[in-house]
Amino acid sequence: MTRPCVSRLRLLIIPLISALLFGCGSGVEQPSGGSPESIAALEYDDVAYDLRPETALKALEVAESKAMMWNRKANLVSVPMTRLMEANFGLPGHIPGWFFMFMVPDSPLEYYVKVNDGKFSGATEAQPILVEDLPYTILPLDLSNIKLNSDDAVNAWLARGGNGYLTNHPGAQLDFRLVHLESQEHATWSIFDFSGGEAPLHLFSVDAATGQEVSDPFLLFR
């Protein structure tokens, strides 16, 4: 388990915060409040880590329809960590839904859609401002090659030590990221715990096509 390098994390956050100054979307609405429950997990259905009522790929159905209204050529690029995005957008903590980032080929614009409880919560268009060139390239997600949903990623983690972690950390605030770097063969699901301070703690990563445990795809770039 590792924490992302703070300097690299700030590099990634700063462009998103700056981008909001240029966003021309509606902004992201704040869902109703709530708090994570204590955890005594045996299998996925028992994991009350943040009370999300739907999986990421189920919520994507709603997000895709909104993205197509934004631009018919929009491609899903990532499922970013919800709590990190909430911090970037200046939203207070609450029961998180799912954020989805879409882009159009040959355009720097990013379109973020949030879905909460199966419903559209809001969206914003942004143009990132990079303080330096990123050392990696993020590819559009090929959904036909993503065999694991977010609940499958949790099950894979629980089977590889996640149950013990949750037993020892009942206040864990789990979050997810789905991304495909150019250096990877497939997209990767990663699970993080946001309960411990400034930087999220990386707990587990799994190949979204094969189910094989892998390292954090950003590990080489810290």
pLDDT > 90 in the chain, percent:
55
Query: What is the reported pLDDT for 71?
Result: 97
Evaluated on CA atoms 75, 77, 79, 84, the torsion sign reads negative
Structure token digits, residue 119:
């419903």
- Is 170 or 5 the better-scoring residue by pLDDT? 170
Indicate if the pLDDT at residue 187 is higher than 60: yes
Distances (CA, A) of 57 to 1, 3, 100, 160, 219: 26, 26, 10, 23, 25
Q: Is the dihedral of CA 121, 127, 129, 134 positive or negative?
A: positive
* Range name among 29-33, 145-149, 196-200 with the lowest pLDDT average: 29-33
Copy the structure tokens of residue 80.
Answer: 């970013």
Across 108-120, average pLDDT: 93
Q: Tens digit of pLDDT for each residue in 10-49?
A: 223 333 333 332 233 333 333 333 322 222 333 444 444 5
User: For position 95, what pLDDT does the model report?
Assistant: 58
71-92 confidence digits (pLDDT tens)? 999 999 999 999 888 888 777 6
Higher pLDDT, 44 or 193: 193
Q: Which of 161, 195, 155 is nearest to 175 (CA)?
A: 195
Rg (CA), the chain: 16
Task: Report the C-alpha gap between 27 and 114 in whole angstroms.
Answer: 10
